A and B are shown apart, each in its own frame.
Chain A
């Protein structure tokens, strides 16, 4: 599935709910499917800076694809990182670096999460792109 297909699928899934509390329930559900980071990689340096909760993110290169694993101590943060991992994992470095991620805006995640400045959505995306860039060279 292309990154656009994955994004569209998410937008459609979120469109089912018109109440944001329900959308949050869905985000919490999605967090349960997150490929969990190996406990050995739950290190200080794999913590994403700029989140109010603790979010660990790890990336490795499998053949030419980048594979992300993550975890978070807050359930909503875990759901958000799960959404990003779902879209960006198993893609090439170039695809990740160039991903526009318009679905964030379409779903309304930005609007609903960024006013608190604490969700780290932006920090998460930035960190994933940084990993993609760093692993591109390897």
Chain B
């Protein structure tokens, strides 16, 4: 169906709410996305008519629930073009997915092995590797970035060695919006025999990812950032790799046979899904992905690019404007500071005028340290945002700045 922003907005009930006397302008999409009515209805309907625990139940509702949960897995498989549905592991979110890989893939690593990340990672793609490196005597390296907030790709070949076992990289920087050249990174990493994990937390909601074409070994993302519910996410992994990895958590569902002495483990995907999963999370995420797949993704990209260009131009007019993250390849995220104002003050006064932005370090303290700033103001757009909202945002921002100077 052709892209019509008003039609899209009609599907998101929260976009019609007010904050005080101001209509909500939601520019905090990098933190979480809003939910379309179909996802909200799906969750309500499930609890009203279908709720039951999944797998192994002989009764009707359990079978319906199981079918829906597994159908959601297939929907996601199709969307990311995984070869098998069991390569799609449900997690609690991106952080959980990375921790799973750090724990289980990490068990296959030995002292002296190297892991490569980048300077622009979210803390959730730094800390698990630091913990693992300490535990197993690994070497953690990073690809530095330049002033524009781009990875120093010229250094990649020197950083990759025959000891590099894993490269874990964000597709799009949550703090800067930079789109990283992951295709090049994946191919360079594979040449030295390293596996690659792509943090897709900020990309799946803006573009389609084909894991087979991309040839990444792992892909992680969060449900709540792709128009689905919170507390659920996906780890995609190549079958052979997932099979080689030991389980993450022990418990129900992940076992084949348990005696008091020993347990044999279930196959994929259940091996990595111990305990009753977030059933409605999985089903809701499936619905969100199904909804997303129906949208015109090219038109979405065009609209978001237009919002980015328009907002950047409007913001540039404001005196003392300083952008962080000025890469040519950028998602619809703008990080900035205005000379003489504190981001906390600006964020507070924007909030007062109904505008939701994020201020602070965005869980990327190394990026802030690189620029020697405490934090930024971040406006991150989704395709339900409009130019009119950007106009209101600029008016509100100017008012805030005039009050603060």
Report A's interface with B, CB cutoff 8 A: 20-21, 24-25, 28, 52-54, 73-77, 112-113, 115-116, 118-119
Residues of A within 8 A of B347 (CB): 116, 118
Q: B20 near A: Cβ within 8 Å?
A: yes
Contacts of A73 in B (CB 8 A): 342
Known contacts A21-B353, A21-B403; can you find 18 more A-B pairs with CB under 8 A?
A: A20-B20, A21-B349, A24-B348, A24-B352, A28-B403, A28-B404, A52-B343, A53-B342, A53-B345, A74-B345, A75-B345, A76-B345, A76-B348, A77-B345, A115-B351, A118-B347, A118-B359, A118-B360
CA distance A118 to B341 in the complex (A): 16
Distance, CA A74 to CA B404, complexed state (A) = 9
Q: List 13 contacting pairs A-B, 8 Å CB cutoff, sorted by A.
A: A21-B399, A24-B348, A28-B404, A52-B359, A53-B344, A74-B342, A74-B344, A75-B345, A76-B349, A77-B345, A116-B348, A118-B359, A119-B348
Tally of A-B Cβ pairs under 8 angstroms: 50
Chain B residues near A (Cβ < 8 Å): 20, 341-345, 347-349, 351-353, 359-360, 374-375, 399, 403-404
- Nearest-CB residue, chain A, relative to B375: A52
Q: How far is the CB of B253 from chain A (nearest CB, A)?
A: 36
Question: Given A21-B352, A25-B403, are A77 and B20 also a contact pair (CB < 8 Å)?
Answer: no
Cα–Cα, bound, A118→B347 (Å): 10
| Chain B positions within 8 Å of A28 at CB level | 403-404
**B293 CB to nearest chain A CB (Å):** 34
List chain B residues, Cβ under 8 A from A113. Answer: 348
- Which residue from B344, B349, B352, B353 sits with its C-beta under 8 Å from A118? B344
* Nearest CB in chain A to that of B348: its residue: A76
Whether B20 pairs with A76 at a CB distance below 8 angstroms is no
* Cα–Cα, bound, A53→B345 (Å): 9
| Identity of the chain B residue whose Cβ is nearest the Cβ of A77 in the assembled complex | B344
- Smallest CB–CB gap between A63 and chain B, Å? 36
- Closest chain-A Cβ to B66's Cβ sits at a distance in Å of 39
* Closest Cβ neighbor of B405 among chain A residues: A75
CB-defined contacts of A21 to chain B, threshold 8 Å: 349, 352-353, 399, 403
Chain B minimum-CB-distance residue to A72: B342
Q: How far is A21 from B349 in the complex, measured between Cα atoms in Å? A: 7
Closest chain B CB from A124 CB (angstroms): 14
Given A52-B375, A74-B344, A116-B347, also A20-B352 (CB < 8 A): yes
Q: Which residues of A contact B342 (CB under 8 A)?
A: 53, 73-75, 77
Closest-by-CB residue of B relative to A112 is B352
